[in-house]
A and B are shown apart, each in its own frame.
Chain A
Amino acid sequence: MTGMTDHTDLILDGTKIAWHQDRIRAWERGERVAPITIDMSLTRACNYACHFCYAMLQENERKVIDRKAIFDFLDDCAEIGVKGISFVSDGESTISPIFIDAVKHGHALGLSMAVGTNGFVLNRRKLEEVLPALTYLRVNISAGERARYAEIMGVKEHWFDRVCQNIRDMAEIKREQGLDVTIGMQMVLMPQYADQIMPLARLGKELRPDYLVIKHCSDDEDGSLGVDYGGYKDLYQTLHDAEALSDESYSVQVKWSKIGAEGTRSYQRCYGAPFMLQMSGSGLVAPCGMLFNERYKKFHIGNICEERFRDIFAGDRYWEVMNYLASPAFNAQKMCGSLCLQHKVNEFLDGYQKDQFDLPTLPDNPPMHLNFI
């Protein structure tokens, strides 16, 4: 299974790893490849209390990522060949005082920058400053109605209005300034939020972001969040109805491949982490978000608040952990939570590593957001 979808302009359900064959070749030669994408947060803190939030399971020893730490980190990323940084991960990066400067600094270094946010503390002034430096900005919004928004996202009802206005502003600024940035909305779907699928899809049509993506909810290996993966099947028709609201400039997309996987993995080794690293808002460098919690200390590699990232990346500890995940000592089917960020990359690399297919010949026109694999 290549994990690649048919080529489309915007791949939201698939992987773009196949467009980075130079790095795959270097990886298979046993070279120390830099991550293509790093998903991180600027803080572990958050002003929301979302019911589905995986970050509740990711607590680790907190450090503060200050201006020097993040600037050094971004400098190091540019130096070693990282291509894209997404401020998503396990905290609300927009509430960090260094958020805007960090985005602009990364952009100035030539890194592709992206943000996932609840969208609450942004305002028109901040958006005008930050949007030109971003490849995409995605707003997490898992309901289309005020009351249900407040319930699911754990905030006051009127916060919904402010977030909607911010999304309107984003679309407007993009249009007015002719920006390349992609504006997205994201629904993390638990089966019990089914009543909000259509209201949210309709809301998006009114607010006019570029897309609404509806995705599964991840859970840890013990099922701490209680996600009922079997329950997604009953929602397929509603999800198709939501997709049918797409028009020429607003796309509703469901992450079918992950929702259809029902929380299972086809592979046992994790080869994706060196290509797509995740870092906690505490500054912790760990291979992936599912291993952030102190419980998984054996996988913790370093912290950018204490050590330069270039040194962490070049250190034996980094590669010891990555090799562990790629070895028979590790079984992602048994030792990991469900449907991680690296899932599609893992599927691709696992199939390739098992000689199930050769690297594909690629179409001439690459997809959007190539540096976010």
Chain B
Amino acid sequence: MALSISAASVPDDGADFPDAFEVFHEGIARTLRAAGAATGPAADAPAVVACVAEADGMTVSIAVDPATDLITTMRYGGGASEAERAVMEQLAAFAVGASARELVEHGLTYVLDRLRDPSAPRPVGGILTPRNAGPCFQRPRRLMRALRAACIDAKGPFEGDNAFDRPYSAQWLAMDAPAKHEKLNRLVAKWRERAGLGETSMAVFEIDRYDRVVVIFGDDVDVWDKPPHLLALERWLRQETGERIEVFVEVAKDSNRIRRL
């Protein structure tokens, strides 16, 4: 009796990045073309608190602004493969403005998202995590584990919950409601075109007080086409705006007559 279905594929030894699944190759190449500045020591960083960690011949260091407790610089070194370099470059980009705890706890899941081609199937059939994302994620994973230990050695255990969150940008928050509507309507119109939907198939209905976007569908959209459209639209709006847009449809009220709220 089958417990599970495995759809994992293995990296191709003949590929450009033999320690990475193919779904990451384009992202790795793109990252390497754009980056390269995050190698080396953190000593030149304009902050005073630094944590340094080493794992399997790779090193990582972070500089933290004592006023905000947020990372100002992350540097790495050691014998990284090209794919590992891309992972570390993306981690370095993520680190700036994040807390050390956020970096060690969530950095690699962010990198997975940044490097993966969203149009290609995931390299595993189930849940993609740094643990199963291929060899190029394993040394960085151990490095983050070592960095966590180094941070705790330096500053004591992390306290409370990690509630780090990157808020909406100041630019977004400064926009008034009509401007947000106008921008999102324009983007939704573009997306409809990409998705092959008609003009009346989908529109922005409301942007609520938490900036959550409520859309409505036209009757021509099949009920089970709506969920994938919504996730795809949300992903696209995030990509186009750089903001963490959330997309919903209207709330359904309870149909049970005897219950009340």
Residues of A within 8 A of B (CB): 22-23, 26-34, 44-50, 53, 55-57, 59-62, 79-81, 154, 224-225, 264-269, 271, 274, 293-302, 314, 316-317, 319-324, 326-329, 331, 333-335, 353-355
Contacts and interface: CB of A to CB of B under 8 A. Distances in A.
Give 5 nearest A-B pairs by CB, closest first. Answer: A30-B124, A298-B230, A30-B132, A294-B252, A59-B252
In terms of DSSP, what is the predominant structure of the interface of chain B?
loop
11 contacts: A26-B3, A30-B128, A55-B256, A56-B259, A57-B261, A61-B252, A298-B234, A298-B248, A320-B228, A327-B109, A327-B113
A322 B127 contact: yes
B211 to A, nearest CB: 11
In terms of DSSP, what is the predominant structure of the interface of chain A?
loop
Nearest to B124: A30
B105 A60 contact: no
Interface stretch (B81-89, B158-166, B170-178): B158-166
Given A27-B127, A32-B7, A298-B227, A329 B255 contact: no
B124 A334 contact: no
Contact of B230 (A297, A301, A322, A329): A297
B132 A29 contact: yes
Interface string B1-36: 111111110000000000000000000000000000
Interface of B: 1-8, 104-106, 109-110, 112-113, 121-129, 131-132, 141, 144-145, 148, 161-163, 165, 223-224, 226-228, 230-231, 234-235, 238, 246-256, 258-261
B256 A45 contact: yes
B1 to A, nearest CB: 6
Contacts of A316: 121
Given A294-B250, A298-B247, A354 B105 contact: yes
A111 to B, nearest CB: 12
A300 B227 contact: yes
Contacts of A320: 228, 231
B169 to A, nearest CB: 16
Contacts of A294: 249-252
B56 to A, nearest CB: 15
Given A47-B258, A59-B255, 17 more contacts: A27-B126, A30-B6, A30-B123, A30-B132, A32-B4, A34-B4, A46-B259, A56-B260, A59-B254, A268-B162, A295-B250, A295-B251, A297-B230, A298-B234, A321-B227, A328-B113, A329-B235
A46 to B, nearest CB: 6
A60 B227 CA distance: 13
Contacts of B109: 269, 326-328
